[in-house]
């Protein structure tokens, strides 16, 4: 291989690395979007309870073991999250799993987490939910929110 061929091969290899880096950056940027976060939630949610209008609509259940303090704390947290620009689902049910999450939060960067509002619920019950829920759980105490 002569000097010209070596320089050409080196240049082509450099261009290939630059293209691969650009593709990788673009892929990471696309993965870090609200659309991706909502898609992650949709993949895990029960289809009979999933609907797009459900996002950013507050849902609660009266007479199913939720106290008024729990509902009000959940609603207040829901409003705070919406003001911060998050997409929020309330009372969403998961595929193949029992129970429903208080709030499911989707970030504009592709992150998804669940917020559980503890009122009368024990830490042990919350710990048991970690196997039932597909996303990380953050806990909040109703008495601190209200």
pLDDT tens digits, one per residue of 61-119 = 776 678 888 899 999 999 999 999 899 998 888 888 767 889 999 998 889 999 999 88
Q: How confident is the model at residue 124 (pLDDT cuts 50, 70, 90)?
A: confident
pLDDT tens digits, one per residue of 93-105 = 888 876 788 999 9
Domain 34-145, architecture per CATH: 3-Layer(aba) Sandwich (3.40)
51, pLDDT greater than 70: no
Percent of the chain with pLDDT strictly greater than 70: 92
Q: Please list the residues that pair with 21 across neighbouring strands.
A: none
User: Which of 22-31, 64-73, 122-131, 133-142 is predicted most confidently?
Assistant: 133-142
From residue 131, alpha-carbon distances to 54, 97, 102, 125, 135 in Å are: 24, 9, 16, 11, 10
Structure tokens at 90: 């309330």
How far from the centroid of its chain's Cα atoms is residue 37's Cα? 5
């Amino acid at each position: 291989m002569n000097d010209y061929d070596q320089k050409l091969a080196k240049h082509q290899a450099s261009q290939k690395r630059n293209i691969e880096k650009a593709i990788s950056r673009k892929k990471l940027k696309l993965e870090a979007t609200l659309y991706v976060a909502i898609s992650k939630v949709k993949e895990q949610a029960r289809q009979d309870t999933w609907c797009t209008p459900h996002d950013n609509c507050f849902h609660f259940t009266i007479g199913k073991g939720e106290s008024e303090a729990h509902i009000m704390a959940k609603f207040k947290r829901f409003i705070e999250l919406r003001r911060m620009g998050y997409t929020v689902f309330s009372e969403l049910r998961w595929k193949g799993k029992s129970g429903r999450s208080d709030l499911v939060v989707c970030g504009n960067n592709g992150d998804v987490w669940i917020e559980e509002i503890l009122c009368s619920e024990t830490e042990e019950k919350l710990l048991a939910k970690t196997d039932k829920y597909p996303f990380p759980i953050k806990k909040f105490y109703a008495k601190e929110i209200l």
